[in-house]
Every structure is written in C-alpha cells, then in structure tokens.
Structure 1
Amino acid sequence: MTTTESSPDLDRKLAYVVFRLSLGVNLLIHGAGRFFGAGVEGFSSRTASEFAATPLPAGLVHAFLFVLPFAEFIVGILITLGLFTRWALTLGGLLITALIFGTALRNDWPTVGIQMIYAITYYLLLLNRSDDGFSLDAFFRPARG
C-alpha cells in the first residue's frame, strides 16, 4: 500500500481481506472440528448413512467424506493466509459444488440453500481477487514499476 492510495481503494482491500478471512476461518474450523470432534472416521461413517437412499455408491460417499475434512482444512488455511488464492478459491468452489450435488440428491433443499450462499461467496471472492491487497500472494507479488 502506498501513501497515495485513495480511501476507496483501501476500503475495497480491507473489505476483501475481511470477507476472505471470514470464509477461510470458517473452512479451517470446519475441517479441524471434524478432526477433534468424532474424528474423521466417525464423521465420515455417521454422515455416510444420510446418503443411503441416494444412487451414490456407499464406498464413494465414504471416501469423499473421509477426504472432506482434510480438504476443508487445507483450503481454509490457504484462503485465510491468502496463499495461492485463485486456486484455493477455485478448489473451494468445486468442493461446495460436490457438496451441493450430494445434498440435492438427498432432497435436503434448506441445506442446499445454505450451500448456495457459500457458492456465491466463492464467486464474489474470485471475481474481486484484484482487491486482495493484504495476503501472502500480495506480499510475494513482484512490485509493479
């Protein structure tokens, strides 16, 4: 940030970092909570039963649910730090797409609605990534001359 940076530019960068941090911490805690709650195996086994009436193969559901906490935790760390932000947001968006798919197969429309808010959040953060001035990506970005 330069001393000549206008207030609206600074406001956009501050708004972006607060929005990015909110999503990143949310995901990070989602993943960590599954580690320290019932454990990854407990979480995946308990949640897999909710998909019994769907056409998804049980083994695929269990494998996805086993990997999910790790993916949430890693993507959450990357988004929180603002590291590889473009790819972390893209991966997070694809992850929420997979969750929406499974939840829609269960006909759990209230949860799909909540997940759509996450999809919009990924969209907005990715769309406005040029406002990402407070991140590791910005720190390591070569200075423009």
Structure 2
Amino acid sequence: MTANTTNREKDAALAYFLLRVTIGTNIFIHGLSRILAGPSHFAGALVPAFQHAPLPSGFVRLFALVLPFAESIVGLLVLVGIRTRIALVAGALLILTLTFGATLNQDWESAGLQLIYAAVYAALLAFRHHNTFSVDALLNKDSFKGDRL
C-alpha cells in the first residue's frame, strides 16, 4: 500500500468522523436543550403551529413530548459511534417523520432543511466502512456482520 493510498484512507476516515460527530452533536443538543427547557414547553409551542395541519392536537403533543428524548438518544449514539448503523437508520427515520409533519403543515422551509439532514444520514450510512474513529471500532465490532436491519 502506498503512502498516498494510506493518506487517502486516513483522510476519508477523518472526514467521516468529523461529519458523524457534527450531526451527532447537532441532534443531541437539539434534544438536550428541549429536555432542559422542559418538553412540555416545546410541546406547548408546537401544538399551535400545527393547528391547520390534518393531525389531531393530542398526537402532535405526544410526538412533541417524545421527540426531545428520541433526538438525544439518537444524537448521542451517532456522536460517539455506538451501534452506528442502527443509530443512523433511526436518525434517518426520525428526519423522515419530521419531514412528513413539516410537509403536512406546509412548512416548506423546514422540509427543505430536513433534506440536508436526510442527505447527511444517507451519506454516513453509505460510507460507514470509514467509521474508524468510533466506539464500535474500539470494541472491535464488525458492524457489517450481525446487523440485521
């Protein structure tokens, strides 16, 4: 293996790490800040924002109460690289859910921003073989074997 190839692999692993910890931090802090402010405060603000969407307000409130905890858990898993594949799929599904709600609410600006998150999750999943700097790698888990999803 040439030095150029080795550097390219190290750069790819470093780039993957930086993107993974950036989105992990972003999602984790999203959730944590909402938990610290009080999930009911977040839910109280979200329910009126969805008053014209075809969703029952009770469902919107329940989702808003659960969302901060889901964001915190997914964000932390992605941030440190534990069960990375499952965490990335969960994050992508969370963004899909948020996109569904934003489009039902005709909030096209939020829906557009969520496409960026979806693209980052897709890229991280597609290039997961570069997940060198993670707890998964430290534990020597071959994350390509044994994942059923």
- Fold match, TM over 0.5? yes
Q: Provide the C-alpha distance between the structure 2 equivalents of 1:12 and 1:93, rounded to a whole number of angstroms.
A: 22
- What's the secondary structure of 1:6's corresponding residue? helix
TM-superposition CA deviations, 1:2-56 (whole Å, max 9, x none): x9x811010000000000000000011101110222x101101111111111111
CA offsets per residue over residues 54-97 of structure 1, 9 Å max, x none? 11111111111100000000111100110000000000000000
Post-superposition offset of 1:142: 5.1
CA distance in 2, matches of 1:91, 1:73: 12
For 1:52-131, what aligned pairs fall within 5 Å after superposition?
Answer: 52-131=51-130
Structure 2 residue runs of 5 or longer lacking an equivalent are: 143-149
| 2:32 matched residue in structure 1 | 32
Specify the alignment match of 1:15 in structure 2: 15
SS state at 2:54 partner:
coil
Q: SS in structure 2 opposite 1:91?
A: helix
Gaps of 5+ in 1: none
Closer, same or farther: CA 41–11 of 1 in aligned 2, 3 Å: same
Map of 1:135 onto structure 2: 134
Two-structure CA RMSD over aligned residues (Å): 1.5
Separation of aligned partners in 1, 2:109 and 2:44: 23
Task: Give distance in 2, aligned partners of 1:55 and 1:69.
Answer: 22
Instruction: Count residues in correspondence.
Output: 139
- TM-score normalized with structure 2 length: 0.89
**Amino-acid identity (%):** 42
Whole-angstrom distance in 2 between the partners of 1:41 and 1:110: 24
Distance 2:47 2:91 in 1: 21
Mapped partners of 1:24, 1:142: distance in 2: 20
After superposition, the Cα gap between the structure-2 partners of 1:112 and 1:142, relative to the gap in structure 1 and judged at 3 Å, is closer
